[in-house]
Amino acid sequence: MKRKKWLKILIAVISVLFIIDVIASFYFYNLAIDRGEKDFLQGNEDLEVSAETMEVLMEGDWRTWVDKQDFDEWTMTSYDGLELTGYFLEAEEPTNKVVVFAHGYLGDAMDMGLYGQYYYEKMGYNIFMADARGHGASEGDYIGFGWHDRLDLIDWVNKIVKKYGDDTEIVLHGVSMGAATVLMASGEDLPDNVKAIIADSPYTSVYDMFDYQMERMYHLPDIPILPSTSMVTQFKAGYSLKGASALKQVKKAEVPILYIHGKADTFVPTEMSFKLYENTKSEAEIMTVDGANHGESFVIAKDKYVKKMKAFLDKYMSDQ
């Protein structure tokens, strides 16, 4: 009788824990992946930047520059039927160079105007920026964290090449989630037109990032919540947290990659860029910036950033 009693108690405890895990999995899916307003990052100390950076991000001249530009609005139907929106700005002088940007989590295409202004005014590039699925004007009821977005990015590249010609030379430049997106794309069969990739503050995989943030924000271990959240994500969004891996993709990369990461990044640890760099199949370089938090390098060390970026691109882009 005692054995049966303990067995019933054990089954009851396991059942309760299972129910809690299921509830937690849907909670974290809705929190981070489901499309909608997010307030869980407000007040996050890991995202605090300097007053100088905040002023540039919120009120910098680049925002006025973006507002004044006459972007051509493009639309495209994704491989799974979503209508996506992008924005193309032709250079002032004819050129075959195009930078294709990928923005960060909860952002939109125009956020990349911070970088786009430099490419446009100083380097003479055409620029293209798209709203990732689940962001901005693009459709999608979930956030892909770069995984499905990598295929959207390739489709945008093909659209650009079809419109502007086979001699078009393309740079992929992403920040944070956008950096993961361009790295995830690097492992695919990219068009030969893609000559270089710049990844600023990337994560190794969605699982690794969630694992890190679960510990930082909630003081929780990854098991059992993340594996079950991954199952929910697979069911509702069509990808798994471990499957969405930039690390796996760069091991197949053929295009040269420049990694940039702030040494003071506590939101996506700098070590992730080093791990990616060390596992990249293609030619790769890495630059770190002292005192820079997440995605802050371009603002607090702009001269260093653009000097490295230009030197890297000069190696792989033609002179024409």
Residue 96 has pLDDT above 80, yes or no: yes
| Arithmetic mean of pLDDT, 89-107 | 96
Give the CATH number for residue 161: 3.40.50.1820
Mean pLDDT throughout 264-280? 96
Any domain includes 142: yes
pLDDT in tens, 174-201: 999 999 999 999 999 999 999 999 999 9
Q: How sure is the predictor about 13, in pLDDT bands with cuts at 50, 70 and 90? A: low
In a domain, 215, yes or no: no
Which whole number is the average pLDDT over 199-228?
92
The whole-number pLDDT of residue 218 equals 84
Residue 320: is its pLDDT beyond 60?
no
pLDDT at 53 over 60: yes
Q: pLDDT tens for residues 129-153?
A: 999 999 999 999 999 999 999 999 9
Number of domains in the chain: 1
pLDDT band at 223 (very low <50, low <70, confident <90, very high): confident
The confidence band for 161, taking pLDDT boundaries of 50, 70 and 90, is very high
What is the chain's mean pLDDT, rounded? 92
pLDDT of residue 55: 78
Q: Is residue 136 part of a domain?
A: yes
The answer to whether position 237 is within a domain reads: no
- Is 29 inside any structural domain? no
What pLDDT is attached to residue 57? Answer: 77
Residue 60: predicted pLDDT? 82
Is residue 43 scored above 70 in pLDDT?
no
What mean pLDDT do residues 248-276 have?
97
Given pLDDT bands bounded at 50, 70 and 90, which one contains residue 1? Answer: low
Asked if residue 26 has pLDDT above 80, the reply is yes
Q: Does some domain include residue 224?
A: no
Q: Which of 241, 240, 79, 234 is nearest to 150 (CA)?
A: 79
pLDDT for residue 149: 98
* pLDDT of 48: 65
Q: Which of the pair, 9 or 259, is modelled with greater confidence?
A: 259
Confidence (pLDDT) at 185: 98
Picking from 33, 49, 46, the residue whose alpha carbon sits closest to that of residue 215 is 46
**Which letter, b or e, does each residue of 168-191 get, where b requires 16 or more Cβ atoms within 10 Å of its Cβ?**
bbbbbbbbbbbbbbbbbbbbbebe
Cα 74 from Cα 89, distance rounded (Å): 11
Q: Determine, yes or no, domain membership for 180.
A: yes
Over 90: is that where the pLDDT of 18 sits? no
Is 95 part of any domain? yes
pLDDT, position 54: 75
pLDDT at position 50 over 70: no
User: How much is the average pLDDT of 106-116?
Assistant: 96
- If one counts every other C-beta atom within 10 angstroms of the C-beta of residue 251, the result is 15
Q: Span 98-103, mean pLDDT?
A: 98
pLDDT in tens, 112-129: 999 999 999 999 999 999
Domain that holds residue 169: 50-205+244-316
| Cα gap 111→101, rounded to integer Å | 10
User: Is residue 258 within 8 Å of 199, Cβ to Cβ?
Assistant: yes
Q: Is the pLDDT of residue 71 over 60?
A: yes
